Chain A
Amino acid sequence: MFETLTLSALPPEDEAIRPALRALIDEAIAELPVSRRARSWQGFDASFSRKLGQAGYLGLSLPKEYGGMGRGPFTRFVVVEELLSAGAPVAGHWIADRQSGPLILHYGTEEQRRFYLPRISKGEALFCIGMSEPGSGSDLASVRTRAEQQADGSWLLNGQKIWTTNAMHGDYMIALVRTSGTSADRQQGLSQLIVDLKAPGVIIRPIVDLTGDAHFAEVFFEDVRLAPDALIGSEGQGWKQVTAELAFERSGPERIYSSVVLIDAWVRHLEAVGRKDSATLRLVGSLMAQQAVLREMSLAVTARLVAGESPVVEASLMKDLGTSFEQAVPQLIGDDLAANPDEPVDPELYRTLLYVTYAAPSFSLRGGTREILRGIIARGLGLR
């Protein structure tokens, strides 16, 4: 079972982009304290996203005719690995680059591709994803936000989305909404619409989280008018499209590097205080070993994407393992530091530790909860 996941090497031409990319990243993070870098994929910096776009590091898997780089998932793997391991602020372009771009490429009309994809590749069109609603988290088939098509073909949108990452900074939302039938019809009658977040009737309220940051938002739609071409793909096919989209969201190296800035800061701390007893070395080594295996698994899933497959089960498997590891890291490092109460801890390391500790529950929530993923794996095992 799962024999298709095998060790895979990054092509040399993708490895080759690291030095120039790293120079750009180093410049962007030079002034950022570690506790800010630990936020990485929650870190919003539109100007950095534009710089990445101008330098050709966004829209990597989009064809050149749409302003993309015409490369593939392996190139994106390298870029994401470099960004996250350094703790660069990626929130600005993250969703557009990872999900919205490929979605529009696959399901969008020619006009939608020509309009959105070049701007996504330049870091100039920032997207968020409207999936969750109050009462509808993992059970997406129960979404109630509704778009009624009018006589002139336009859409009238009403409802509410929640836990929408960076809606307050974004230009567009790709919303999963009901366009026909009722919630009793479950997956049938759902569609994906592009919502211009500046449109009249869109109200966005940030949600402050337990770290004091506001990455999420509630988004309300009150009689929002959308042009006929707001629909992506086919009316009623939203569920199928979203399922494919989630495989992109679950498969990348972002599922293994959320705590790596903390690990690096802690390793530097151990060096600074000169602690090299065997228990410490074992903990260091154990984190390295697990991180290394996860990286190869992530690369193996990426290779399936490169082969043109949609590795839904494999991506779920990797995401569950990866996020479990990411969540264990602050627990273990916190215990290590606090087990040595006579050792001075740099305030910046302490801030980083607590940020990652507080944020860690979200690692296994974003992109599908652990229980849902394990259900997908169970189906892959033939149990359901």
Chain B
Amino acid sequence: MDMSELIDPFARLIEDICTPAAIREIEQGGDTAAMWKAFLESGFLDALVAEESGGAGLSLSDAASLIALLGRHAVPLPVGDTMVARALLAAAGVEAPEGPIAIATGAGAAPFAAVATHILSGAPDAPVVTPANVEPTGVPHDGGAYVSGLDGKALRPIAAALRALLISGAAERVMEMTVAYANERVQFGKPIGKQQAVQQQLSVLAEQAVAARIAAAIGARAGLRPKLVDAAIAKHGTSLAAGQIAAIAHAVHGAIGISEEYDLQLLTRRLHGWRLADGSEGYWAGVLGELRMAEPAKPTADFIRGA
């Protein structure tokens, strides 16, 4: 299938309904129904559901660019989470609710849980969907929430791969916004992007954004059941990049970047939130370290290429 046939309409849908104003409205507690209805009716929520169950039958790798678009546009609802949840539920023969489903994999804040009607926990082969009974984080504009009493640890690798794709999309957009800003913003008589010190910073941002995209692709390469090693590499790499990218983007933007009315913050807040969700770089490094030390005599080059 030519992916642009899928991506272009999805991108148009997001651009139409997830405007910065619409995102802000939902983040301030506004009604989510209209935006959700548009996603539900688009059919994209079943992109990962098998064809025999009425979905599009895409693999996670096929759908990677769709999910990255959600991150790129700071979509404020759990569209990616729901796509994953619906695929797992369909495979297990459980009927999915119509509302937004957030995935909870631990005791920390689950992204989008505050704007979800349901929470997915359990395991990939035995997914459990329950009505959302959550406690907001209390952070302004945060769609995340704490979910208690559910065990979703077994979903963590899938959620990590999903979160890595969202980070990679947001990272790409932050890079583009920051480069564009550096070319426009004039100080000392020329665009700040002409200053070598700023150029060096932006080069590092670009390196991290590309590294994040490659890391995310590693997480998605095996499909909806990522290998533990791949999920770890993906979430570690994207989380590591997320913090650096947000920091450089804000440094280059100066004070305007941290104002509420400027759109950069819609993305950088998500970079931080997704970094902390479903295991940070430190968590996944620990997982990977344990896997590596199970084979201490194996050369690193063999370990990382899965030989």
Contacts and interface: CB of A to CB of B under 8 A. Distances in A.
A7 to B, nearest CB: 5
B67 to A, nearest CB: 15
A282 B292 contact: no
A9 to B, nearest CB: 9
Contacts of B300: 85, 260, 263-264, 267, 287-288, 291
A270 B293 contact: yes
Nearest to B199: A378
Interface residues of A, number: 52
Contacts, number: 166
Contacts of B202: 377-378, 381, 383
A292 B221 contact: no
A270 B296 contact: yes
Nearest to A2: B210
Nearest to B236: A289
A5 interface: yes
A295 B291 CA distance: 19
Contacts of A384: 194, 199
A286 B236 contact: yes
Given A289-B237, A317-B206, A378-B202, A271 B293 contact: yes
A377 B207 contact: yes
Chain A facing B: main interface SS: helix
A20 to B, nearest CB: 15
A155 interface: no
A369 to B, nearest CB: 12
B61 to A, nearest CB: 9
A170 B237 CA distance: 41
Given A264-B300, A267-B300, A293-B211, A285 B290 contact: yes
Interface in A267-295: 267-268, 270-271, 276, 278, 280-295
Contacts of B218: 7, 292-293, 296
Interface string B236-262: 110010000000000000000000000
A7 B221 contact: yes
A382 interface: yes
A375 interface: yes
A339 to B, nearest CB: 16
B249 to A, nearest CB: 13
Interface in B193-250: 193-194, 196, 198-200, 202-204, 206-207, 209-211, 213-215, 217-218, 221, 232-233, 236-237, 240
21 contacts: A1-B176, A7-B217, A7-B221, A81-B301, A85-B299, A85-B300, A270-B296, A281-B290, A282-B289, A283-B285, A285-B289, A285-B291, A293-B214, A293-B237, A317-B210, A374-B200, A375-B200, A377-B203, A378-B202, A378-B203, A381-B179
